[in-house]
Structures are given as structure tokens and as C-alpha cells.
Amino acid sequence: MPSLKDLKNRIASVKSTRKITKAMQMVAAAKLRRAQEAAQDARPYAERMEKVVNGLALSVRGSDSAPRLLAGTGSDKVHLLVVMTSERGLCGGFNSSIVRLARLRIEKLQAEGRTVKVLTVGKKGREQLKRDHSDLFVGHIDLGDVKRMGYDVARGVARDVLGRFDAGEFDVATIFYNRFQSVISQVPTAQQVIPAPVDEDAEATTLYEYEPSEEGILADLLPRGVATQIFTALLENAASEQGARMTAMDNATRNAGEMIDRLTIQYNRSRQAAITKELIEIISGAEAL
């Protein structure tokens, strides 16, 4: 049975925990709004880029001169998994769900006899994957000093990935991130970026004149397309992270509240018990005289 003093201290500590989680929740809510806006603003560019790349890809695919970023290297032996996670914790299952998806994919690919390489973006995913798969790591991109998720960051990641592709380090690249659906639901997603996926069903687009050649434009556009996809993924991830943190902190705040209620009842009961005990002692003392 904890003493009254213990209970009082306990209540005070849970109260300050609740204050912190409440503050974190509100900060996350504010950041979430900004992250969502950024994701929204980036959408028109990404959509158009995808449409144009797709249209070009369909028309060039058959020819021998199709760039390697589109046609692939001709094999799919070596896979690069780009696992994007957050820099900070306290965001519920956000990081674990990405890592779980990546881990499943690693096991599946290894069972099929493929070589797997892992590039981590963000500290948390690296920590979680290190336990089982540290031998697969080929690199890490730290986002710790990134204040605002700008296109430059995505370009940096894309440059790293494309450099490795040009050096022949891998055949297929897949990015892992959380797609933002709502504050309470983020969907871990795996998306192949190299070779560029082509949507077969896309309707035939207008016949364009190309300046310079179709191949020239594709060679220029495909790397940009990769950067754009990574940028979109990073933005979705940023929004998801804040959403997940908001939900997690909301839960934590509520739990702390419940705990305070329980402890307060316990505190009052034991205080009352102590008073009653003292009274009984005084009365029985008086009667004995």
C-alpha cells in the first residue's frame, strides 16, 4: 500500500506527463496541417510528370534505344529497397509498420534467391532494421537537419539512388513509405521506381512533337520522374508521421487522464481511511479513561 506522499508524487508526475503529451499532440496537429498542404501543393506537378513520362514510355518502349531507367538492366537479380522512416520516435506504429513491410519483402526476395540491398532514409528505420539485416545496408541518408521537406532533399536522395543505378549496383529499386490516408490511418506502401513502371491501360495520348528527340526528353525526364516520386513519398511520409504522432499522443493524453482519475480516487480513499483510523483511536482512547 503506497503512502499518501507516494500517491501525491505519482499524481503530480502523471499530470506533467499528460501536459507534455498534450503539447506534443498540438504541435503534431499544427505540423500535420502544414505537411498536408505541402503534399497537396506538390500534387499537380507529380500528376503531370507521371502522365507525360507514361505517354513517352508507351511510345518508346518497343524500341532498342529505350533508356535503361525505363527498360531496366535486363535482369532482376539485385534489388535495392529504399526504406523511408522518420527521424524521431513517439509516433505510434508509424516506423514499425514500414519496417515490417520492408522486412517481409526482404525475406521474400531472399527466399527467391535475389540479392537485396537496403538504403535507409531516416534514423528510426535504420535502428529497427539493424538487428536482422545490418549486412544488407549499403547507405544511409540522414534527415536529422532537414527543417522543411523541400524538393532539394528528394533530389539528394534521387541522386544517390541514380548514382548507384548508373554504377550498376542494382537492377530494381523499390521505395517504402507510409501513404497518408487520414489522421488515424496510414498505409505502408511499396512502390517500384526503377525501372519506371508503365501503366499499360493508359489511353493513347495526343501525338506530340518532341524537341529534342523522344529519347532525349526521356533521358532528361526519367531521373526527374524518380526524384518526383521520391519527393511525393517523402511528403506523404511526413504527413503520415505527424498524423501517427497526433493519434499516439491523443491516446497517451487520454490514458494519462484515466490514470490520474484512478490515482486520485485511491488517494482520497486512503486519506479518508487515515482520518477514520485516527478518529477511532481518539474515541476508543477517550472511552478507556
**Which residues are part of the catalytic machinery?**
91
Give the neighbor-by-neighbor strand order of the sheet with 172-182.
Answer: 137-141, 115-121, 78-84, 172-182, 185-194
- Please, which residue, 49 or 116, has the CB nearer to other proteins? 49
Contact status: 208 vs other proteins (CB under 8 A): yes
Least distance from other proteins to the Cβ atom of residue 18, Å: 37
- With contacts defined by CB under 8 A, how many residues of the chain interact with other proteins? 28
Tell which one of 107, 142, 199, 220 touches other proteins (CB under 8 A): 220
Determine the interface stretch with other proteins among 23-31, 126-134, 216-224, 269-277 (rule: CB under 8 A).
Answer: 216-224
Least distance from other proteins to the Cβ atom of residue 219, Å: 10
Q: How far apart are CA 7 and CA 1, in angstroms?
A: 10
Q: How far apart are CA 117 and CA 243, in angstroms?
A: 29
Cα dihedral 171, 46, 50, 222 in deg (nearest 10): -40
Contact status: 202 vs other proteins (CB under 8 A): no
Tell which one of 28, 101, 175, 221 touches other proteins (CB under 8 A): 221
Least distance from other proteins to the Cβ atom of residue 244, Å: 23
The three cell numbers of residue 238 are 511526413
- Please, which residue, 187 or 208, has the CB nearer to other proteins? 208
Contact status: 216 vs other proteins (CB under 8 A): yes
23-62 footprint of other proteins as x/- string (CB under 8 A): ---------------x--xx-xxx-xx--x---x------
Answer whether 244's CB lies under 8 Å from 25's CB. no
The single-letter DSSP state of residue 62 is T
Determine the interface stretch with other proteins among 6-14, 94-102, 134-142, 215-223 (rule: CB under 8 A).
Answer: 215-223
Q: How far apart are CA 49 and CA 226, in angstroms?
A: 10
Least distance from other proteins to the Cβ atom of residue 201, Å: 21
Contact status: 207 vs other proteins (CB under 8 A): yes
Contact status: 210 vs other proteins (CB under 8 A): yes
Tell which one of 151, 190, 191, 215 touches other proteins (CB under 8 A): 151
* Burial group, residue 213, by CB count within 10 angstroms (0-12, 13-18, 19+): exposed
Q: How far apart are CA 231 and CA 43, in angstroms?
A: 10
Residue in the structure block whose three cell numbers are 529499386 = 173
| Interacting positions 230-249 with other proteins (CB under 8 A) | 231
Q: How crowded is residue 269: how many other Cβ atoms within 10 Å of its Cβ?
A: 11
Contact status: 134 vs other proteins (CB under 8 A): no
Least distance from other proteins to the Cβ atom of residue 99, Å: 27
Q: How many residues in the chain?
A: 289
Least distance from other proteins to the Cβ atom of residue 32, Å: 18
Over the Cα atoms of the chain, what is R_g? 28
Answer whether 245's CB lies under 8 Å from 183's CB. no
CA 2 to chain centre: 42
| Footprint of other proteins (CB under 8 A) | 38, 41-42, 44-46, 48-49, 52, 56, 150-151, 154, 206-212, 216-217, 220-221, 224, 227-228, 231
